[in-house]
Amino acid sequence: MRGSGRGRCYGAITIVSALATGKGCALGVDLPVTAEVRLEEGKFRKKDFVDLCVAEVFSHYSVEYMPRVTIASAIPPSRGLKSSSAVANAVIMATAYALGERLESEEILRMNVAASRKAGVSITGALDDAAASLFGGLVFTDNREDILLKREPFPPDYICVLFIPKEECPTRSFLPRLEFIRKFSQIMDFVYSLADQGNIFEAMTLNGLVYSPLLGFSTDLMLMAMAAGADASSLSGTGSAVAALVSNRHVDEVILAWGKGMKVNIRRGVE
């Protein structure tokens, strides 16, 4: 058999991290990832995270081929912008298309979470990141139970502004701090409840104020963004990127305050 398929997905930012409690909220942004998969006859040797994503699809359909995978990504890796989740979604979709199949969203997310856990690229399974990457908009998840709790659209007239440092921060590097981070679970339960009740900006900013020092980052960039007119700002994921949600009229002020910044459209999600 020779078949090929292409999948496309997107990055996301953290609203409320699931590290402390298992419950998370994320927001899709327009940072695209495209994966192309070509299938050829031959032995499949699983070597890395991408191969594990392909293997999930092969297992689902009880097939095996030798995949050739090409990925083009606009997401800086290991910055907390959900690059692994987006790559996994795109590769899983592309592999299914190469087989002449189309997966339901629930199956894509299940395979994404399974591959992420097997590869150790996520601490929680990152269902929130995977869902925000796939659907856009706001997603709320229980990562302990692998449940997508709800999806909501994000209001118009906002831009995501990103400050992306040079240094990479792989998620697994924070594993030794996990037990300490969980000491703050009651605080983060409250922060999650704020987001769940619709107070997205307040929840995101509190998330940054809690997690930044826990993960070894300064809150200076967050506070600078807020002072310049951002409605919310936070470390995204485990860093190193800082995200700000900014109304259109204040975008230039936030970028000026930071000295640099990347404007990214928000994927508003369900209506």
Mean pLDDT of 197-220: 97
Residue 188 lies in a domain: yes
For the stretch 47-98, pLDDT in tens is: 899 999 999 999 999 999 999 999 999 999 989 999 999 999 999 999 999 9
Last residue of a domain, one of 120, 152, 184: 152
Residue 243 φ then ψ, to 5°: -115, 145
pLDDT for residue 120: 81
Contacts of 30 (CB under 8 A, 6+ apart): 10, 11, 264, 265, 266, 267
Same-domain pairing of 68 and 102? yes
Computed on alpha carbons and rounded to an integer, the radius of gyration of the chain in Å comes to 18
Examine the pLDDT at 150 and tell me if it is beyond 70: yes
User: Which tokens sit at 16?
Assistant: 């409320």
Question: In percent, how much of the chain has pLDDT > 90?
Answer: 86
Contacts of 12 (CB under 8 A, 6+ apart): 26, 27, 28, 29, 81, 82, 85, 86, 129, 132, 133
Local confidence band at 171 (pLDDT 50, 70, 90 cut-offs): low
Mean pLDDT of 135-142: 98
Same-domain pairing of 230 and 147? no
Same-domain pairing of 14 and 132? yes
Residue 30 lies in a domain: yes
pLDDT for residue 58: 97
Closest CA to 207 of 179, 239, 176: 239
Same-domain pairing of 132 and 165? no
Domain count, the chain: 2
Same-domain pairing of 12 and 142? yes
For the stretch 85-122, pLDDT in tens is: 999 999 999 999 999 999 999 999 999 999 999 988 77
Same-domain pairing of 207 and 146? no
Same-domain pairing of 117 and 180? no
Sign of CA dihedral 152, 135, 11, 216: positive
pLDDT for residue 258: 98
Are 205 and 120 within 8 A, CB to CB?
Answer: no
pTM value > 0.85: yes
For the stretch 227-263, pLDDT in tens is: 999 999 999 999 899 999 999 999 999 999 999 999 9
CATH classification at residue 133: 3.30.230.10
pLDDT for residue 172: 64
Domain that holds residue 68: 3-152
